[in-house]
Amino acid sequence: MSFYKENGYLLLSLYIIISSSVEYNSIDEDEDRRVSILMIYLIVGILVIITAGALYYEHAQKLNRLDEIDSTGGIVVKYQVLVKYFLSISNAKISSYSKKHLTVQSKGTTTITEFTISPEAENQVTISWILSCQPMGHFKEEWRFSETISQEKMIERINRDLELKSKTINLPDFHI
């Protein structure tokens, strides 16, 4: 065999080996891409499952809390100090009542005032206030209290905040 023929076979063999390794590398790169994409989908899926689980858990806790309050007489009994206080406002009546909230509404000639008591999970209660005043517009405030705070303290805080708010929006003689 001649030198060129032997070297030709050697070069041809090297070419085949190199070209097959290049194809193999491109297959590895495609497989690596697929694995990377699969890992991304897996991570996103796990995050979605964790988020859904946390939301479900929070919702279940709130429902358990609402059932507990309902079994002991409902919001009217549980928050009777607050309810009585809000009902002491002139023309105030309970306008909406369910397991999830209680709304006391007072209607005047140009104003509507609403207080809503909404029990939350983790022994929390949210109280919202809405004032609709024809000449001045709508105003809203919200408080979140722990059950460990007395309802009298909640009322003090609400009164203090609403007095400050009334001075800010220039409501004359605003009292609840």
From residue 170, alpha-carbon distances to 85, 121, 132, 137, 176 in Å are: 24, 36, 14, 12, 15
Domain extents in the chain: 1-71, 75-168
Read off the pLDDT of residues 113-128 as tens digits, 9 standing for 90 and up.
999 999 887 788 999 9
Please write the tens of the pLDDT for every residue from 66-94: 777 777 788 888 889 999 999 998 889 98
